[in-house]
Amino acid sequence: MVIGSGFGGYFAARRLRRQGLDVTVLSATDGMVYAPLLPDVAVGAVDPRSAVVPLTGTLGRARIVRGRADGVDLDARQVHYTGADGSTADLPYDRLLLAPGSVTRLLDIPGLADHAIGLKTVTEALYLRDHVLGRIEAASAMDDPDRRRAALTFVVVGAGYAGTELVAQMARMTGQLLPLHPRIRPGELRWFLVDVAPAVMPELGSRLGEDALQLLRRRGVDVRLKTSVQRVTADRVTLTDGTELDCTTVVWCAGVTGNPLVSSLGLPTSKGRLVVGADLTVPGHPELFAIGDAAAVPDLTKDPDRDGHRPLCPPTAQHAMRQATAAARNIAASLGRGRARPYHHHDLGLVVDLGGPDAAATPLGLHLAGRTAKVVTRGYHLYALPTVRRRARVAADWALAGPLPDDVSFGAVDRDEALITTAEADRP
């Protein structure tokens, strides 16, 4: 049985089915959300449906149960869950693969939980788009300068891939929409990117990170490094460098922690992620496997520190997908088919879509920027999307987004649904 249908759970279930095993997938979502495309969804470059791969019809004869795992009885080998209709039941298992992903790591900052929006779900991406368009529209009709400034100021916290891609693409998209709002002057629209780190996306290396920083600045983004947020209210944000901003939009992309389901098991965790060995089993529980953002998987490509501890694999889609293949192989081996092997994967690099013709990519140690990086970035996503239909849909969305940008906002998602606290309690 597999819990979760994201990068880890989906690819593992598919692999297990191909090995002829009986698979039950229990997931809170009825699709696999391709999270790296959420910034594209937020700017309207990709339709939300294109970024979700349905489970039905793509996982062969796997039994798909829509519901939220509430707990695992390790002795009885049963998962307790609440179904989509609110009813509760138990599902038995022989082998259990935990892949419930992560939740947004909220820091203890006054007002953050009440006012910040996240970007981990399709709901949040859709809300963000409508909200930003709505704020600009509202500001265009306002005369009060304070309210107008607050409506036109957007703060994104976290300069990792989610925050950097989002702010780069949003600043470009909103800049292009300004001519539709002649009452708004270009300087009035303000985007901020805030991070405690000294660099934007340090994983890109100093040269590409600096390129990304310069690109953001050219797009008018005010990047504040070595800075965090001190306090958030409905219409004001205070930064740790003392800046007070009139602002009604804070997007929190500052890190994740393991899904609370794994810490509820009473087993050892590291930084909120379930501790597993290199074979992806939980020590002392050969029937229990964990992968992806929810698992603390030792990175065998890195040397141990002085205390003999190895660094953990970072929480990325790339690792979750590769761990899915390794876990499926080791689960089959535990049932007498083939041999188990430790998880060992050299990072293949990063792809970062910065909107328009711009991107940064580090495939196989190369450092690419501009159009070449854009081709690599889009090519990688099309390759990694699991079905031909999704690849075709996303490619078509990208092709249309240039000549026919989507400028409609539906306002279909309530603000409450997009606040991090609600979104995490009710994922997707």
Ligand X SMILES: Cc1cc2nc3c(=O)[nH]c(=O)nc-3n(C[C@H](O)[C@H](O)[C@H](O)COP(=O)(O)OP(=O)(O)OC[C@H]3O[C@@H](n4cnc5c(N)ncnc54)[C@H](O)[C@@H]3O)c2cc1C
Query: Residue 327 and residue 291: Cα distance in Å, rounded?
Result: 8
Looking at the Cβ atoms of 227 and 318, the one nearer to ligand X is 318
CA distances from 297 to 3, 25, 36, 143 (A): 17, 22, 21, 54
36 near ligand X, rule: CB under 6 A: yes
Q: Does 224 bind ligand X (CB under 6 A)?
A: no
Number of amino acids touching ligand X (CB under 6 A) = 36
The b/e string for 12-47 (b: 16+ C-beta within 10 A; e otherwise) is bbbbbbeeebebbbbbbbebbbbbbbbbbbbbbbbb
Residue type, 234: A
Task: Return the ∠ at Cα 316 (arms to 386 and 277), rounded to 5°.
Answer: 105
If binding is defined by CB under 6 A, does position 48 make contact with ligand X?
Answer: no
User: Which residue, chain included where needed, has tokens 């340090």?
Assistant: 202
With residue 97 as reference, give the H or E element that holds it: strand 96-98
Nearest to ligand X of 16, 294 (CB atom) = 294
Does 45 sit near ligand X (CB under 6 A)? no
Window of 31-39, 54-62, 195-203, 301-309 that interacts with ligand X by CB under 6 A: 31-39
Quick check: 68 binds ligand X (CB under 6 A)? yes
Candidates 85-93, 94-102, 126-134, 281-289; binding stretch for ligand X (CB under 6 A): 94-102
Tell which positions 225-284 bind ligand X, by CB under 6 A: 259, 261
Stretch that binds ligand X, among 96-104, 106-114, 206-214, 409-417 (CB under 6 A): 96-104
Q: Which stretch binds ligand X (CB under 6 A): 36-44, 107-115, 222-230, 361-369?
A: 36-44
CB of 32 to ligand X, least distance (A): 7
What lies within 8 Å, CB to CB, of 159 at 6+ separation is 193, 194, 195, 197, 199, 200, 201, 223, 225
How many whole angstroms separate alpha carbon 428 and alpha carbon 278? Answer: 30
Task: Write down the H helix ranges in 70-195.
Answer: 112-115, 122-140, 145-151, 161-177
Is 104 near ligand X (CB under 6 A)? no
Give the pair of three-digit tokens for residue 312.
């953990």
Determine the interface stretch with ligand X among 269-277, 316-324, 330-338, 359-367 (rule: CB under 6 A): 316-324
If one asks whether residue 377 binds ligand X (CB under 6 A), the answer comes out as no
What is the C-alpha to C-alpha distance for residues 148 and 390, in angstroms, rounded to an integer? 40
One residue of 14, 15, 120, 135 binding ligand X per CB under 6 A = 120
Strands of 269-270's sheet, edge to edge?
269-270, 273-275, 295-296
User: For residue 184, which amino acid is it?
Assistant: I
Tell which one of 2, 13, 38, 52 touches ligand X (CB under 6 A).
38
CB of 6 to ligand X, least distance (A): 2
Q: Which of residues 153-172 bind ligand X (CB under 6 A)?
A: 161-162
Coil, helix or strand for 344? coil
Among 240, 269, 316, 334, binds ligand X (CB under 6 A): 316
- Pick from 136, 317, 360, 361 the residue near ligand X by CB under 6 A: 317
Nearest-angstrom CA–CA distance, 12 and 290? 11
The binding site for ligand X (CB under 6 A) comprises 3-9, 26-29, 35-36, 38-39, 68-69, 99-101, 119-120, 161-162, 259, 261, 292-294, 315-318, 320, 427-428
